[in-house]
Amino acid sequence: MSSLPVSSLSKTGSEGAKAALSVEERLFVALDYPDAATALALAERLAPLGVSYKIGLQLFYAEGMAVVHQLRQFGKTVFVDLKLHDIPNTVAGAVDSLVIQGVDFLNLHTQGGPEMMRAAVVSAQQAASRLGQTPPKLIGVTLLTSLSEQALNEFLFVEGVSVGEYVQHLAMQAKKAGLDGVVCSAQEAPLIRAACGPDFLLVTPGIRPAGAGEQDQARVITPAQALQNGSDYLVIGRPITGASDPVAATQSILDEMRGALV
């Protein structure tokens, strides 16, 4: 894989596009299901609402790219959340394969380091240019929203640093490497926005409407507060997939999002 300097690459198109994003496009519903039939059934029910979809490890390992292709047929944005984390050459190869297959958003761990992130950016740009396509958005995972400040200090052994400082630092490294944005908690969104500017994409899981259970998430926030804090995209799974009426739950979340933006 030849190494184009990141600075010579055109950005992957976030400029200007954000202003035009609808509330519906800003909601990624996490289709964390064991099979395509169940995921596609919900996607079909939600399609009239205009939301975007996210495919994670469970569904991808069960069904592979076939389910990505099926979801893309709904004409909505599809985020393939595989959290790539390996040596630069391997991640570059994985990104090349994903771009050839066709994805709108993909992500990788910022903790794989600057060379890994740069290799991913170069690979996405080269594959897209070879195919005459727009590259996907490349999003860096910072600190998983299931990890608390205590886990950062005691398990990851990063002492004397707050979650906000740690995530902000990783976001700045991601931006420097040429990524389009990061996954973080919306709790950290204002800090990252201040450091990385208006065009940097903030994709935020750990969203819980008031009264919903946190489950395994640690750094949670409501949909309205996430948008008020500057999130661009909300990733929401169980508050929708675990609801007795997922369509009504999605509508209620979209209403809360609309209310936060007026």
Least distance between ligand C5P and beta carbon 141 (Å): 5
Please choose, from the candidates 42, 95, 38, the residue with its C-alpha nearest in 3D space to the C-alpha of residue 246.
Answer: 42
Binding mask 50-89 for ligand C5P (x = CB under 6 A): ------x------------------------x--------
Verify binding: residue 235, ligand C5P, rule CB under 6 A. yes
Closer residue to ligand C5P (CB): 127 or 139: 139
Footprint of ligand C5P on residues 158-187 (CB under 6 A)?
183
Rounded to a whole number of angstroms, the minimum distance from the CB of residue 3 to ligand C5P is: 28
Q: Which residue's CB is nearer to ligand C5P, number 30 or number 127?
A: 30
Burial (CB < 10 A; 0-12, 13-18, 19+), residue 148, is: middle
Structure tokens at 218: 């640690």
Residue 76 annotated as catalytic:
no
Window 94 to 153, contacts with ligand C5P (CB under 6 A): 141, 144-145
Distance CA 110, CA 104 (A): 19
Q: What is the DSSP letter of 207?
A: B
Q: For ligand C5P, which stretch binds (CB under 6 A), given 36-44, 171-179, 222-230, 236-244?
A: 236-244
Q: Which of 29, 30, 152, 257: binder of ligand C5P (CB under 6 A)?
A: 30
Number of alpha carbons in the 13 Å side-chain half-sphere of residue 135: 26
Applying CB under 6 A, among 205, 224, 231, 233 the residue interacting with ligand C5P is 205
- H helices of the chain, where? 36-46, 57-63, 65-72, 88-101, 114-131, 149-154, 163-177, 189-196, 223-228, 238-241, 246-261
Query: Quick one: DSSP state of residue 73?
Result: T
Q: Which of 83, 137, 175, 176 is catalytic?
A: 83
- Give me the helices (H) in 88-162, please: 88-101, 114-131, 149-154
List contacts with ligand C5P (CB under 6 A).
Answer: 30, 32, 56, 81, 141, 144-145, 183, 205-206, 217, 235-238
